[in-house]
């Protein structure tokens, strides 16, 4: 007698280039986060405009000890100065992320990946549909092989809005970039404005990562990571 027990179906999920760029970007983002915090500690004050220094009133500041004695923080001590290596690794990691992102974007357009897998259908953009997917719930097996409308919108915002903005504002703090394209900095309000905007965009990206990790854990950490490693996901059941 044939065994009628249901079996998991292994379906294609992520292309090889998607998986490779995902893990490279994840490593680069981790390095950017750690080094960005180190850079922030060296001067935890933010300004608006072209110039900013300790003699100026900040737009806002973090009440944390600094790694530089010249920065007034209200603390009677300073942290070890890690600014040198953190800036070097931050810039190197940023270029890794930029080049990886350009490769992913070029492939995504040429292969139809964005249109096929990320562009949401008009019928799925109703408020009721979006509100239903905003609830933190464990996704069903059918969602293992495709993104829901909220995920698609979030990924498109990250890829085409937040990521370009964080690169632009980061470059706007570079003296070489400023001398070559001063208008790209002026439109942001100046170099200190670019630094402030860079912080807020980075915070938005960090929020996205935290929500992304929470959803991965909710959906099944092992199965989702396995899919991003092997390219295949278990979805649905069929009779053996």
Q: How confident is the model at residue 143 (pLDDT cuts 50, 70, 90)?
A: low
Residues paired with 46 in a beta bridge: 60
DSSP-assigned states of every residue in 164-203: HHHHHHHHTT-HHHHHH-HHHHHTTTSHHHHHHHHHHHHH
CB 184 within 8 A of CB 165: no
- pLDDT-wise least confident of 52-66, 136-150, 216-230: 136-150
pLDDT tens for each residue of 110-127? 999 999 888 888 777 777
Q: How confident is the model at residue 76 (pLDDT cuts 50, 70, 90)?
A: confident
**Length of the chain as a residue count:** 240
55: alpha, beta or left? (left if phi > 0; alpha if psi -120 to 50): alpha
Q: Where are the domains of the chain?
A: 8-235
Q: What is the mean pLDDT of residues 43-57?
A: 93
Q: What is the pLDDT of residue 136?
A: 62
Extract long-range pairs of 163-167: CB within 8 Å, 24+ residues apart: 163/101, 163/205, 165/197, 165/201, 166/198, 166/201, 166/202, 166/205, 167/94, 167/98, 167/101
% the chain with pLDDT above 90: 54
CATH superfamily ID and name for 8-235:
Transmembrane di-heme cytochromes, Chain C (1.20.950.20)
Question: 103: burial class by Cβ within 10 Å (0-12, 13-18, 19+)?
Answer: middle
pLDDT tens for each residue of 192-206? 999 999 999 999 999
pLDDT at 133 over 70: no
CB 100 within 8 A of CB 28: yes
């Amino acid at each position: 007698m044939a065994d009628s027990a249901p079996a998991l179906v292994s379906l294609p999920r992520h292309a090889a280039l998607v998986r490779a760029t995902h893990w490279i970007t994840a490593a680069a983002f981790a390095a950017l986060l750690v080094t960005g915090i180190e850079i922030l500690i060296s001067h935890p004050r933010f300004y608006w405009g072209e110039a900013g220094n300790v003699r100026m009133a900040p737009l806002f500041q973090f009440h944390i000890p600094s790694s530089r004695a010249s920065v007034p923080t209200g603390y009677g001590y300073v942290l070890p100065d890690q600014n040198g290596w953190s800036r070097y690794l931050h810039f190197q990691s940023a270029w890794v992320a930029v080049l990886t992102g350009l490769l992913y974007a070029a492939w995504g357009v040429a292969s139809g990946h964005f249109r096929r897998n990320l562009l949401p259908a008009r019928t799925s953009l109703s408020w009721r549909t979006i509100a239903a997917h905003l609830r933190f719930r464990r996704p069903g097996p059918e969602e293992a092989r495709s993104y829901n409308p909220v995920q698609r919108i979030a990924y498109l915002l990250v890829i085409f809005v937040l990521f370009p903005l964080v690169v632009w504002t980061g470059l706007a703090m570079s003296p070489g970039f400023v001398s070559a394209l001063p208008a790209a900095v002026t439109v942001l309000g100046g170099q200190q404005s670019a630094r402030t905007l860079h912080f807020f965009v980075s915070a938005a990206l960090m929020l996205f990562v935290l929500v992304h990790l929470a959803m991965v854990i909710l959906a099944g950490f092992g199965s989702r990571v396995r899919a991003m490693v092997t390219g295949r996901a278990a979805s649905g059941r069929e009779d053996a």
